[in-house]
Structure 1
Amino acid sequence: MKNKILVFDIGGSFIKFSLFSQNGFFKKGKVVTPMDSLDDLIVTLEQIHSQFVDEIEGVAISLPGIVNSTSGHMVHGGSLKYINDLNMVEVLEKRFRLPVTIENDGKCAALGEAWRGALQGVNDGVVLVVGTGMGGGIISQGKLLKGHHLSAGEFSFIRTNNEDADNLDYFLGFQGSSLTLTKNVAKNKNLPVGSVTGEKVFEFIEKDDPVVQSVFRGYCRNIAIQIINLQSVLDPEKFVIGGGISENPLLVSTIRQELEKLYSESTFNFIYAQIEQSKLGNEANLLGAIYNYKQLHNIAL
């Protein structure tokens, strides 16, 4: 019976997928994201689609880039360099012969948290997704904030150094990247680059390694500073921290500690930012893509 939605979360490393019905997600899986060409990406999606073709009524997609979810047009695909000035919905609907919806991955994370996560009932909230960059989404007055150019929430492009403003090392997408954290730990521990994972960082911290604890605190302080800036600009009720390494509660608790230090060191009367760990984890983008699909097709949530 064709009463399920096939949902994809296309990232720079993996494509996560699942079927969704009224009872939730099932038949989850993931494959490596093709980075060579759009044709390779479509073939990969079609191979997954073919497994469920007799069960699904439509396809919902979360992916990087600047996305017009209403028209299906993409300005670019972010880390998917082969997507440029393309109506992705038209391309995929021709191949799948089913309704397809798309939305930016950070915005999907915000929609997911607002629908079934830590932003339920929150009119003004921000989701920060800590990954290979710093993505996210903004809920303003109960609705997803897209912005005039559809790029609201592209936190990776925030510049953090006035004296060297065009240096990518000082973009928040680099400073807040989990890859930057693991590389800095490897460098300070004299370990081979690529040998340290997020899990390994937390193992070092839990063993009271002073070198790694110092690197980690500096990393969290950089994020905390930008949260204060975003609080001043957007004035949300709450920030939700998501992404792979946020699954360890040490990330959010340490960012919170660094926020407290920054507030206590300041002579200004700031509004204190409230932060919380994502309740949805890796399902945030998938749920947000489903929410977007249901909204665009006027299906009851």
Structure 2
Amino acid sequence: MKKDYLSIDIGGTNIKYALIDRSGNINQKGKIKTPSSDLDAFVAVVRSLITKMQEQIRGITFSIPGKIDNQSGIVYHGGALTFLDNINFRELFGTPYNLPVNIENDGKSAALAELWLGNLNQIHSGVAIVLGTGVGGGIVLNNHLYYGRNLMAGEFSFILDNYTSDNYMKNAVGATVSAVQMVTTIGKKLNLPDPTDGQEVFQYINNNDPRIGSTFTDYCNHVAKLILSLQAILDVDRYVIGGGISAQPIVIQTIHSELHKLLQKNAFVADEFGSIDIKQAKFGNDANLFGALYSYLLQIDNEAPQRSAALNNIIR
């Protein structure tokens, strides 16, 4: 029997999972509520899932919020799931089942999905920007995901957006370019029963409701400025925009429009940067499932081309 990989995407609300083959075909998928109370409850739910799938799988891979060391299998911080801090997933979920386990950061998983089978495939250097509660993502240099010395490359939420204040996190991109905050602000302006309901909010955005004012375009303007700032540092070939709101075509369209306006007002910058290629991420809500599997294939199955020692030092 040909076995698949079990890819698990751990979110603050839900745990999504899928059985995926080596070619990237999803053969089964589902989701369960994330136990957010304590580690024991979390472990019980995940082990129950693995036990159910055990006879069908050859390995397990996780996409997880927080700082992730996929060499050791240890999670640091764990995002909103603080009880995951310093937990070794390889020992916790691999050893009991005698199965290999890989872990990857959620933003980097989204970037890896695009690198493997999406809109960064065959792109020499690019950036995935994931718009959600904060702003995560990943940086691809020389066809490889760049992790950085402290595994923090691609954590765009930590970029300072206002140099006149010492209140760092309040004035960092994670706060000023939060898609969740933008949706909630508009939802409150519209007096919606649930101001966090993104689907309903975007119905009003798409209908150009005057009550929204400039909130949405201001948000896209911030994303465009973030891209310009990143381009000044990285000078990459392409940006892909992910996260739940990226499924709305008006998001990419408006980011393009705001970027065009910025460059029109700043001819020197436009001449220096040239055109900037921005596309919608391909995989939507399944991105982390695909990216976590590609991380597994690179880290455990060693399917990436061999890198030189010098390049390996740069990438890690």
TM range (shorter): over 0.9
Looking at structure 2, the residues matched to 211 and 235 of structure 1 have their Cα atoms a distance apart, in angstroms, of 38
- 1:6 aligns to 2:6 (yes or no): yes
d(CA) in 2 for partners of 1:239, 1:213: 27
Q: Helix, strand or coil for the counterpart of 2:63?
A: strand
Per-residue deviation at 1:195? Answer: 3.1
Quick check: 1:290 aligned with 2:293?
Answer: yes
Percent identical residues? 39
What is the aligned partner in structure 2 of residue 216 from structure 1? 216
Residues 178 and 198, structure 1, Cα contact 8 Å, conserved in 2: no
Unpaired segments ≥5 residues, structure 1: none
Per the normalisation by structure 2, the TM-score is 0.89
Distance between the aligned counterparts of 2:284 and 2:82, measured in 1?
26
- Residues 190-269 of structure 1 aligned to structure 2 (within 5 Å): 190-191=191-192, 194-212=194-212, 214-269=214-269
CA displacement at 1:289 relative to structure 2: 1.0
Task: State how many pairs are aligned.
Answer: 300
Q: Give the whole-Å Cα distance in 2 for the aligned partners of 1:298 and 1:245.
A: 33
**Conserved? CA contact 2:60–2:100, under 8 Å:** yes
Q: Is the 8 A contact 2:109 2:290 kept in 1?
A: yes
Mapping for residues 88-99 of structure 1, pairs under 5 Å: 88-99=89-100
SS at match of 1:268: helix
Q: Which residue of 2 aligns with 1:162?
A: 163
Q: In structure 2, what is the Cα distance between the partners aligned to 1:227 and 1:214? A: 20
Q: Against the structure 1 CA distance between its residues 161 and 299, is the aligned structure 2 distance closer, same or farther, given a 3 Å change threshold? A: closer
Distance 1:2 1:154 in 2: 37
Partner of 2:52: 51
Deviation at 1:269, TM superposition (A): 2.5
How much does 1:189 deviate? 2.6
CA distance in 2, matches of 1:144, 1:167: 27
1:17 alignment partner in structure 2:
17
Separation of aligned partners in 1, 2:113 and 2:201? 28
- Alpha carbons of structure 1 residues 238 and 213: separation in structure 2 relative to 1, 3 Å: farther
Aligned to 1:276: 279
Q: Deviations for 1:159-217, whole angstroms, at most 9, x for unmatched residues?
A: 2111224253322112222210122102323445x434211122102222023252110
Q: C-alpha displacement at 1:41, in angstroms?
A: 1.6
Residue 127 (str. 1) matches residue 128 (str. 2): yes
Counterpart position of 1:138: 139
Corresponding letter in the other structure for 1:230:
L
Give the Cα–Cα distance (whole angstroms) in 2 for the partners of residues 98 and 66 of structure 1. Answer: 23
Q: Distance in 2 between matches of 1:163 and 1:96?
A: 53
Q: What is the identity, as a one-letter code, of the residue corresponding to 2:290?
A: L
The root-mean-square deviation of aligned C-alpha atoms, in Å, is 1.8
- Is 2:65 the partner of 1:79? no
Q: Unpaired runs of 5+ in structure 2?
A: 305-316
State the one-letter code of the partner of 1:107. K
Runs of 4+ aligned residues of structure 1 deviating over 3 Å after TM superposition are: none
Deviation per CA, 1:31-80, whole angstroms, max 9, x where unpaired? 12222222222111112112211111110111111111112122321222
